[in-house]
Amino acid sequence: MKKIILILSIFLFQLQALAFEDYIITSDYNVISVKSSDENIVFVKPLYSINNYKDTILLKSKNAGKVIITIETSEKEKILNVEVKNDETFISQSEGLNYYVLDIPSKKPVLRGE
């Protein structure tokens, strides 16, 4: 019985990891701050890169829904519209930002026009 519970728990933990897409967003400029309009849907956090620049953002999807992300860079403020669905995450494009899917690196990000 313990083996069955262990196997089921390992399987169920993996299903939760595949529920939503997570992204790494890199900026051409230094990121000063990042804010999400609803932290229950999308969690965002600026990260330092290897060369000690704060030009990388982690976008972690938690629940399905729509959210607005405000990115303040050294150049100007950028606003992204993000829509999280169970199988995909849609992000509006913004000049100076590059998007990388974290869960499936070979997959191209689903971007929408500005």
Q: How many residues are there in the chain?
A: 114
Q: Domain range spanning residue 55?
A: 20-112
Cα–Cα distance measured from residue 38 to residue 99, given in angstroms and rounded to the nearest whole number:
20
Domain-located, residue 2: no
Would you state the pLDDT for residue 85? 86
Question: Is 10 contained in some domain?
Answer: no
20 φ, ψ to 5°? Answer: -130, 155
Give the total number of structural domains in the chain: 1
Q: E strands of the chain, at which residues?
A: 23-27, 31-36, 42-47, 56-61, 65-73, 77-84, 89-92, 97-101, 110-112
Structure confidence by residue, pLDDT tens digits, 19-61: 677 888 988 888 989 999 999 999 999 888 777 778 889 999 8
Q: What's the pLDDT at 102?
A: 78
For residue 6, being part of any structural domain is answered with: no
For residue range 67-95, list pLDDT tens digits in order: 999 999 888 899 999 998 887 888 888 88
Residue at 61 is within a domain: yes
